[in-house]
Amino acid sequence: MKLDPSFIWTAFVQLWSAVPTTLLITLVSVLVGFVIGTITALSRIYRIPVLSQLSGAYVTFIRGTPMLTHLLLIYFGLPMIVDGLSAQLDLGWNSAKIPMIGFAYISFSITAGAYLSEVIRSGLLAVERGQMEAAWSIGMTTPQALRRIVFPQALAASLPNLSNSVIGMLHASTLAFTVSVVDLNAKAQIVASTNWKFFEAYIAAALIFWGLTIFIERITGFIERRINVYSKGGVA
């Protein structure tokens, strides 16, 4: 077998059609995961009864099991729940109507939520307690203090880890092909097997993934510079 360099370009062009799917899976799972992660991190830090225990269990279970397993559990478990509920409450739902990508969205959001929970928790813990006290002292309520004082600083502190997680989710989104979602990697497989040129197709896929990753690094680098203006005099 000989490498066909020109086919790398051909594959490259064909693969572009799958880029939106890959980006969409990453974006949805990171955004939903961020919301889940914020809620779980806050409830653990502030030791909210019941919620904090549930959050702790969620984080250890999800981080203790592979992402592919989450996807398969959702893929096989969710239809049972949906159909069962529908039959019991007469809702007229049908699990067959759930689009394949929906399973990826749900399960990857759950995965990302657990990892982001720890990223956000570390960011929140990096903000000194004195910041909260100062906010209280000038008469702010706890929600105001969290929103205006603690969160912006926590976000800045967790940005490097956050960008790591986004890149991790981008690459892990390739698992979606197991539930027949045509993401970038799945598309490469299709292009490869129809043309019988596997190495070339995967090289093209790798280049696109690398490019997307550099793009994410650039964006977070930019945000980091913007957000960290105030710390340029060193750690205050």
Partner 1 sequence: MIKLSGIRKSFGRNEVLQGIDLTVNKGEVVAILGPSGSGKTTLLRCINYLEKPSDGEIQIGDFSLDFKHAGKKDIYALRQHSAMVFQQYNLFSHKTALENVIEGLIVVKKIGKEEARKRGIELLEKVGLGAKLDAYPSQLSGGQQQRVGIARALALEPEVLLFDEPTSALDPELVGEVLAVIRRIAKEGITMIIVTHEMSFAQDVANHVVFMDGGVIVEEGNPAELFGNPKEERTKQFLKRFTSEYSYSI
Q: Which of 94, 141, 180, 194 binds partner 1 (CB under 8 A)?
A: 141
* Smallest distance, partner 1 to C-beta of residue 152, A: 5
Is 143 a binding residue for partner 1 by CB under 8 A? The answer is: no
CA distance 99 to 77: 15
Closer CB to partner 1, residue 64 or residue 139?
Answer: 139
Burial of 44 (0-12, 13-18, 19+ CB in 10 A): buried
Q: Which of 31, 65, 148, 211 binds partner 1 (CB under 8 A)?
A: 148
**Alpha-carbon distances of 82 from 86, 102, 106, 228, rounded to whole Å:** 6, 13, 14, 46
Minimum Å gap between C-beta 46 and partner 1 is 14
Measured from the CB atom, is 151 or 199 closer to partner 1? 151
Identify which of residues 17 and 231 has a Cβ nearer to partner 1 in the complex: 231
CA neighbours closer than 13 Å in the CB half-sphere of residue 96: 1
Compose the 190-229 pattern: x for residues touching partner 1 by CB under 8 A, - for all others. -------------------------------------x-x
Residue 131 interacts with partner 1 (CB under 8 A): yes or no? yes
Residue 93: count of CB within 10 angstroms of its CB: 15
Indicate which single residue of 134, 206, 214, 219 sits in contact with partner 1 (rule: CB under 8 A). 134
Contact with partner 1 (CB under 8 A): which of 2, 97, 226, 232? 232
CA-based nearest residue to 205, from 26, 8, 6, 2: 8
The answer to whether 185 and 173 are in contact (CB under 8 A) is: no
The full DSSP string for 132-143 is HHHHHHTT--HH
Using the rule CB under 8 A, which residue among 120, 135, 186, 204 binds partner 1? 135
Hey, CA dihedral for 46, 48, 51, 54, is it positive or negative?
positive
- 96 interacts with partner 1 by CB under 8 A: no
Q: 180 or 231: whose CB is closer to partner 1?
A: 231
Alpha-carbon span 164 to 162, nearest angstrom = 5
Residues near partner 1 (CB under 8 A): 128, 130-131, 133-141, 144, 148-149, 152-153, 156, 227, 229-236
